[in-house]
Structure 1
């Protein structure tokens, strides 16, 4: 009779022990995020990048890009690096807290981050003096920069279209 009374107690103790191990391992592996990170904040970061950020970037690439002006290139690189950092921070927060991504899906998010990185890298090459020879032998990096921007713009536009469609059917 002593074994039967002990059996439920030992089962409860084992369960409590496993539960405390689970809680301890979860709290150790859980990431902490700054208190300013919220869904609303991250949504506003995305909206700013997709809206005015991309318009500004497009205007620079299509109208003002000049490989001779290193300051403009430097500022654009900083802009892209900063936005990438903010978007990455929000993406990590959303993945950890909601199991969602900053852009439509994991693939879309990775594609957009890769396009930002590729445009940034291309601008860094231009700024460091890498020459892009055209058919006439002149240094002309503009088509390469525009191609990288176009890839990013298409990916961001696809995301923006999905957002608009989602809002329309809510």
Structure 2
């Protein structure tokens, strides 16, 4: 009986070690600067000044002939998407929350950022967007993608304000 007990104890110990090893090897690590406050500030910056900047560019300064401005806007969108994605991963792993109001809204906003970035990339690569007269006019397509993103950001902002009102 003692040998059987010893064998079971060894197996239990091996199983426990295996579980611990697997847990540590699959654990995500996050950058030390990531905190809920940092992520909240990043979201606020994107919702506030980032969206204002995008609105000004899309509605006042967008010109398909100026590839540099398009490149800079694509870089801005991709960079913010990366930063927000990093924060979202951190918040999901640590707080069981997301960067935007809900998981669905977060996914929709990331998809809208990607869609606008991709459309701008098409313009930068020279894809033609003929209008009714046959002239190349990508502005309505870019504005449509921006408007989709702006509506989603507005939903997030409204819900956050409502939540704060009742705190």
With the length of structure 1 as denominator, give the TM-score of the two structures: 0.89
The Cα shift of 1:24 comes to: 2.2
Q: Once the two structures are superposed, what CA deviation does each residue of 1:55-98 show, in whole Å capped at 9, x if it has no partner?
A: 10001001111111111111100100100010011111111112
2 CA distance for matches of 1:167 and 1:52?
20
SS at 2:23's partner residue?
helix
Structure 1 residue 119 corresponds to structure 2 residue 116: yes
Residue matched to 1:149? 146
1 CA distance for matches of 2:37 and 2:11?
42
1:29-44 residue pairs with structure 2 within 5 A?
29-44=26-41
- Picking from 89, 92, 111, the partner of 1:92 is 89
Aligned residues: 166
Residue matched to 1:47? 44
- Indicate the RMSD between aligned Cα atoms, in angstroms: 1.8
Q: Once the two structures are superposed, what CA deviation does each residue of 1:24-49 show, in whole Å capped at 9, x if it has no partner?
A: 22111001111001111111110000
1 CA distance for matches of 2:70 and 2:105?
26
2 CA distance for matches of 1:21 and 1:168?
48
List runs of 5+ in structure 2 lacking aligned partners.
none
